[in-house]
Chain A
Amino acid sequence: MNAASGKVMKDSGKKSFKLMIVDDSNIMRRRIERSNQLDELELVGTASNGLEAIEMFKKMDPDVVTMDLTMPQMDGIECISKLVVMKPAVRILVISALADKATAVEAMEKGANGFLNKPFTDRQLNEAIADLMR
Chain B
Amino acid sequence: MLQEQELKTFVEGTTNYFEVAAQQPASIGSPYLTEGSPSVHDYTGVINISGKREGFVYFTAPKAMLTVLLMKMQENDFSHETMRDLVGEVANTISGNARRDFGRDFVISVPSVLAGERPEIPQKPGARSFVIPINWRSHSAKLIVSLT
Contacts and interface: CB of A to CB of B under 8 A. Distances in A.
Nearest to A30: B75
Interface in A96-132: 96-100, 102-103, 117-121
B92 interface: yes
B96 A98 contact: yes
Nearest to B108: A70
A108 B108 CA distance: 20
Interface string A36-57: 0000000000000000000000
A25 B88 contact: yes
B82 A98 contact: no
A119 B104 contact: no
Nearest to A98: B96
Given A97-B96, A100-B100, A102-B103, A27 B74 contact: no
Across chains A and B, which 10 residue pairs bring their CB atoms closest together, nearest first?
Answer: A97-B96, A99-B100, A100-B99, A119-B21, A119-B20, A97-B93, A102-B104, A98-B96, A99-B97, A25-B89
Interface residues of A, number: 23
B16 interface: yes
A70 B104 CA distance: 13
A45 to B, nearest CB: 19
B147 to A, nearest CB: 17
Contacts of A100: 99-100, 102-104, 106
A120 B20 contact: yes
Nearest to A124: B20
Interface string A4-34: 0000000000000000000011111011001
